[in-house]
Structures are given as structure tokens and as C-alpha cells.
A and B are shown apart, each in its own frame.
Chain A
Amino acid sequence: QSALTQPPSASGSPGQSVAISCTGTSSDVGSYNYVSWYQQHPGKAPKLIIYEVTKRPSGVPDRFSGSKSGNTASLTVSGLQAEDEADYYCISYAGSNNLVFGGGTKLTVL
């Protein structure tokens, strides 16, 4: 299966909101409510921040939110903070016990 499409970069000033898109197909994002988002700081392992499209694990600030429309999922970071500067990846279930990954988005806090 093809990778999910994410913009290579996104940016925003402190306090602003920024949205990152993740576009798949009707075989993955469009068919399942199993889209998850991960935050990765340089030199660190990825961290789950959104699962099942909209849910946050405990400890993840509510500034992070997820949504989905058709074949496109989105991660919104509200009230941007300096520590939000990181790479963000989306992953979708694609059926038959397979996953498909996005290419990643580098978020810069200006």
C-alpha cells in the first residue's frame, strides 16, 4: 500500500493553532477509525499523542486534537508552545493486519 501523504513542513507562532493533514485512500484512512498520531523530538523515540482519530492517551495535553473527514485525517495543535516543535507522523490501519505510515511533518514554532 502507498504511504499516507503529509505536508513536509508546518509552522506557527506561539499561541497560534496549526493543523497537519494526513491523506490516505478509501482502503485505509477512509475505511477505519484507526488513525493515530505520533510526536518525535530529535534523537528520541516517537510518542503516541492521538489514537482512534480523536482520542488522547493520558498525559497528552488537550491542546492536541484529531479529526477525520473522508480519506483525510488532521492533527491540530492549539496554543502552540516551543516544546511542540517536533516531527509528527500519522499511521492508519489498512486492513488485513497491515499499517500504513505517513511521511512525517516537521513542525516549527516561529
Chain B
Amino acid sequence: QVQLVQSGAEVREPGASLKVSCKASGYTFTDYFIHWVRQAPGQGLEWMGWINSNSGATNYVPKFQGWVTMTRDTSISTAYMELSRLRSDDTAVYYCARTRDRSSPDLGDWGQGTLVTVSS
């Protein structure tokens, strides 16, 4: 079955950077886009963008352009999301999610989430 397993919780100081991984299994990694979504404590879901796991092309929400980088390593079926210049309001659970099928924009499978705490 499809599984997306994310890296563990992280604590960072303001101004630092962070890289979250999302290891996929149970399907052909390069056939589906990976999206990244975050959720601040007690808040709603916030879309950050996606990466085409095949070509590596990315599409970032304008708010995150310039400080988020999405990459992938097809040899190990893993997607990454790196955030730089962290601020306290970046404290959130970060999710990766796979599109439901090759041509749909729906998010059919989700990782378990990675809690990122930004605090001095």
C-alpha cells in the first residue's frame, strides 16, 4: 500500500534552516506529484506548493518563494522540503501529500506530519 513516511520532529532557532524528508513506498515514485502543506498550532491547512517527482519541476506559493526549496531523490523515492531563515511563526506541522492519481490535483495520501518548533 502507499506510504509516505516523514522525518522526525525538529527544533530550530530563529534564522536557522530546516530540511524535512518524505520517503515514499508502495508505488512508482516518479509517477506522482508531491505537495507540501503546513498547519500551525490550532490553525488550518496552508498549501506551500508541489514538486514533480519525475522532472523535479516545482511550483511554490508566492508567499514561500525565495525561502522554500523542494527537491527529490528518485534513487531513494524521497522528497524534501527545505525552509530557510526560520521565524517563530514557522512553527507548525509540515505534511507531504501525494496526488491521488497521475492527472488529478487531489491529495490522496498523506505523510504522518513533522512537527517543527522554532524557538530561541
Contact = CB atoms under 8 A, between A and B. Distances in A.
A23 interface: no
A45 B112 contact: yes
A104 B110 contact: no
A36 B107 contact: yes
A46 B47 contact: no
Contact of B106 (A40, A45, A51, A89): A51
Contact of B111 (A45, A99, A101, A104): A45
Contact of A104 (B45, B61, B108): B45
A38 B59 contact: no
Q: Is the interface of A mostly helix, strand, loop or mixed?
A: strand
B31 interface: no
Contacts of B105: 34, 36, 91, 93, 97, 99
Contacts of B107: 36, 38, 46, 48, 91
A103 interface: yes
Contact of B110 (A47, A51, A97): A47
A45 B110 contact: yes
Given A34-B106, A97-B59, A98-B59, A48 B100 contact: yes
A73 B100 CA distance: 20
A34 B61 CA distance: 19
A52 interface: yes
Contacts of B35: 99
Interface of A: 34, 36, 38, 40, 45-48, 51-52, 57, 87, 89, 91, 93, 97-104
